[in-house]
Amino acid sequence: MLQPHQILPHFDGIARGIQLQKFGCTRTQLAKAARSGSIHRIRIGVYALPGIDRRVITAAEHGGALTCAAALRAHGVWILPDPDEEIHVWMGAAGRTHHEKCACVGHYTPGTAGLGLAPVAAALVHLYRCTDHETFFAAYESAWNRRLILASDRDRIRQELPVTAGWLLDLARGDAESGLESLLRLRLHLLGIRLDS
């Protein structure tokens, strides 16, 4: 029979007990695994593998999935260095905050946020709100280039971002080989607009 620590890797290392039970784990098994230390109980009904990213744990304690720069980097998206140490959490449309007082930044956008890492498309939508155009643009092109977002994801991102983000999305391409290439093209474009006007 599958043990909880064998199932958790399929959920970014963290999941609700109810999700694990769907794979045949009983509550007794979960309690036993938590006692033995092969998994950790994060809060009531939430379990994680030992050693997973502390920020993922904090986001789950807050009530959602880690998002923005930290999540994108964990997905393998190239992203400009970010001195921001805050934890950004995707709460879904109407998630409930479990922290009473904290420095987490909550994102309430459509969808059901699980725990672990927010999907790349959702994290890009959040990043747009939390950072500057350059950081977003380079991350968006990197995600596209690495096939981490498909055409359907790009449509969804366009729908969820403000109309004023349209020009950035129009400028983006899927063949940028590096973040620096993305940044250079964006800067030249901006320079071109200024020169033309």
Q: What spatial distance separates the first Cα and last Cα of the chain, rounded to whole Å?
A: 68
Nearer to Zn ion, 33 or 91 (CB): 91
| Residue 34 interacts with Zn ion (CB under 5 A): yes or no | no
Instruction: Give min distance, CB of 138 to Zn ion, in A.
Output: 16
Rg, Å, the chain Cα set: 19
Which of 130, 161, 168, 169 touches Zn ion (CB under 5 A)? 130
| Segment 5 to 24, residues that bind Zn ion, using CB under 5 A | none
| Residue 62 interacts with Zn ion (CB under 5 A): yes or no | yes
Helix segments in the chain, DSSP class H: 4-7, 17-21, 27-36, 54-62, 68-75, 120-130, 133-145, 151-160, 166-171, 179-196
Query: Burial letters for 39-65: b for 16+ Cβ neighbours within 10 Å, e otherwise?
Result: bbebeeebbbbeebbebbbbbbbbbbb
| Residue 185 interacts with Zn ion (CB under 5 A): yes or no | no
| Residue 156 interacts with Zn ion (CB under 5 A): yes or no | no
**Among the residue ranges 23-31, 88-96, 113-121, 165-173, the one whose residues contact Zn ion (CB under 5 A):** 88-96
| Residue 126 interacts with Zn ion (CB under 5 A): yes or no | yes
Separation between Cα atoms, residue 70 and residue 67, nearest integer Å: 6
Which of 46, 60, 66, 68 touches Zn ion (CB under 5 A)? 68
**Among the residue ranges 75-83, 118-126, 150-158, 186-194, the one whose residues contact Zn ion (CB under 5 A):** 118-126
Binding site for Zn ion (CB under 5 A): 62, 68, 88, 99, 102, 104-105, 126, 130
